[in-house]
Amino acid sequence: MKQIIVLGRGGQGAVTSSQILAVAAFKDGMHSQAFPNFGVERMGAPVKSYCRIDTKPITVREQVYEADYAIILDPTLAKSFDEKVNDLIIVNTNKKPEELGLNTKAKIKCVDITNIALKVIGKPFVNIAALGAFSAITKQVSLKGLEEAIKQQMGSKGTMVEKNLAAIIEVHAISKK
């Protein structure tokens, strides 16, 4: 079973990101679950959301205490990120991994998702675009699965669906390098 933490700020879409990731895994034929971890947080407060992906049914129903992967949507949260991650942390930043102050043994991959989102979407909506990096680097979900999940979850959002799909494809392409 692969466990993923998505860290962002309230209103940034960390919960939506986890949900779309879980649906994408399901579309790819996997078992998945997504759930948030927040209380009375307000807009701008740190929010964690989790996703699990497995080839077998998932019976665990608790918070993720040790993840395989993490996606950090807001780079200002990187320094205070203290979750145990074993494999990879993807950070939305134009900085180098050593500049982030992360205390981890996991590999750190920095991708400037904000810049791509601004260019493609016209706004700094990074939550869905970040899944392009996750797909490219980890191979845990396919681009096709992400596309289907986005269309299912965001179907009523009109042009935002197409813009987010374009952003995912661009982030996916640069993350493979």
Greatest Cα-to-Cα distance within the chain, rounded to the nearest angstrom: 41
The pLDDT-based confidence of 157 (bands split at 50, 70, 90) is confident
pLDDT in tens, 91-122: 999 999 999 999 899 999 999 999 999 999 99
Domain 2-175: CATH class, spelled out: alpha beta
48 vs 26: CA distance, rounded Å = 21
Lowest mean pLDDT among 69-73, 95-99, 155-159, 166-170: 155-159
CA dihedral over 34, 17, 46, 177, signed as positive or negative: positive
The C-alpha angle with vertex 29 and arms to 49 and 73, in degrees rounded to 5, equals 25
Residues 89, 133: Cα–Cα separation, whole Å: 11
Question: Left (φ > 0), alpha (ψ -120 to 50) or beta: where does 165 sit?
Answer: alpha
Q: pLDDT grade, residue 44 (50/70/90)?
A: confident
pTM summary value:
0.95
Report the C-alpha gap between 106 and 118 in whole angstroms: 29
Q: Lowest mean pLDDT: which of 41-45, 81-85, 143-147, 171-175?
A: 41-45
Residue 129: left if φ>0, alpha if ψ -120 to 50, beta else—which one?
Answer: alpha
The count of other CB atoms within 10 Å of the CB of residue 168 is 27
